[in-house]
Amino acid sequence: MNKILISVVGPTAIGKTKLAILLAQHYNTEIISADSRQFFKEMNIGTAVPSSEELKLAKHHFIQHKSITESYSVGDFERDAIKKLSSLFKTNEVVIMVGGSGLYVNAVTDGLNSFPTIKADVREVLNLELKEFGIEFLQKKLESLDPLYFNKVDIHNPQRVIRALEVTIGCGKPYSSFIDKPKAKRGFKVLTVGIKADRAIIYERINQRVDLMIAAGLLEEAKELLPYRNFNALQTVGYKELFNYFDDEWTLEFAISEIKKNTRRFAKRQLTWFLKNENTKWFDYDYDQNRIVNIINNEILKFKNG
């Protein structure tokens, strides 16, 4: 238990990558990405994948290692990440994990909750309802059947909404009743570091990032991915809005405004998720990151002495 996983969390566009790289360099170690949007090699601009320069500064794992045509669940990620950590901890006392996907972060630090097996026809019906009535129909259904989880989940992610409904309907118990179970035993300690800012600052940074993505070629990237729009990986902010533009349902200006709005909503839900962890050490986004490293050093000493 002398091995330490430093988990860097926070909302999108807050500066997690920069801090993770600084920590990796300080401890001469490697980084595991827990950002589920960055797993897919075809999605580059719209997922804010670390630049080639950033990737050279520290070795990253689980960045663009899958294709959007492949199925890759949070359970798959938990298995692969724990296996990778076991390997990395053989030669490193400290490993860094960074990402804004709360469910994927928790899968590594605490383990996944176990769910009953559900008949396939339940999901089939939900997928048909999504296609016929839209995500709003399923959102209202989830709010009615499991309001507790409705207030936690990213309701704009069809895959998450359908999964919650699938379990709730399939076994007659709310999805929320299966989560927040006792944590899995891990062979390492976890130090969670969070970066946050006032909401207005977060929103401003998000708006700026989206503008930069558009300037960098997000429109062209989304157009190339249009034939694959029905894959789960592309049911995400930044792409689905542009698909509506390509369908002539929205103007480009409105699609970009929707990307910003939905990303802001996503950031709000990220913060809500991460603030639940009372053990997280929070820092403002503009706090000197070298001082953060010194503070983390002291925390690691406490871990080892404790």
Annotated binding site: 10-17
Which residues neighbour 201 within 8 Å (Cβ) at sequence distance 6 or greater?
285
Find the angle CA(38)-CA(157)-CA(103) to the nearest 5 degrees: 60
d(CA 262, CA 264): 5
Distance CA 31, CA 58 (A): 7
Smallest CA-to-CA distance from 103 within 272, 259, 237 is with: 272
Binding site feature residues for ATP = 10-17
Count of other CB atoms within 10 angstroms of residue 235: 19
Terminal CA-CA length for the chain = 11
CA distance 221 to 270: 25
**Coarse DSSP helix, strand, coil percentages of the chain, rounded to the nearest 5 percent:** 55, 10, 35
- Paired strand residues for 192: 7
Alpha-carbon span 216 to 5, nearest angstrom: 34
Are 197 and 267 within 8 A, CB to CB?
no
Which of these, 129, 89, 40, lies nearest to 142 by C-alpha position? 129
CA distance 216 to 239: 14
Angle at 239 between CA 167 and CA 267, to 5 degrees: 65
Classify residue 56 as exposed, middle or buried by CB count within 10 Å of its CB (0-12, 13-18, 19+). Answer: exposed
